[in-house]
Structure 1
Amino acid sequence: AMAAGVGVGIYESIGKAAEVLVVWDKEYLPNSENFSKYAAIKEQWKEVYANQLSLVDRGLTQSMWKAPGV
């Protein structure tokens, strides 16, 4: 919508359109305790994923997903 407004001359630029159209309602601040928990879980997931990918690469299991068109 902003790009269309710029395209038809309603707004001078995307930035100007954003200044007019975007209204900030709330601000969300990160929870550092949750960040630490998720960082640990992410490290576990990376290890599990690497092991699962190795099994797929060796033909022992099948991938759970395929990119579209592949």
Structure 2
Amino acid sequence: MMTADRAAEVAAMLGHPSMIEEIAADYPHYEIHRERNGSRHGDWRAAQGDVEVRASSVEELRALLQEQEAVQ
């Protein structure tokens, strides 16, 4: 059974461009990927030099990257 949060994340990723593609375009200096734990997806990660942020959703990843950019 899919939770409402997971359904929203899947819907956001299926659009064109997907939300993660938009984030990657907005933050091209970060290497962005999703961890895998066997056959399951893990957290989203964005890294630039010594800075790394982790998030369980693409919405959270965007918010963390916005915060990180504000600090720099």
Smaller-chain TM-score bracket: under 0.3
TM-score scaled by length of structure 1 = 0.26
- State which structure, 1 or 2, has the greater radius of gyration over its C-alpha atoms: 1
* Structure number with higher strand proportion: 2
* Structure number with higher helix proportion: 1
TM-score scaled by length of structure 2 = 0.26
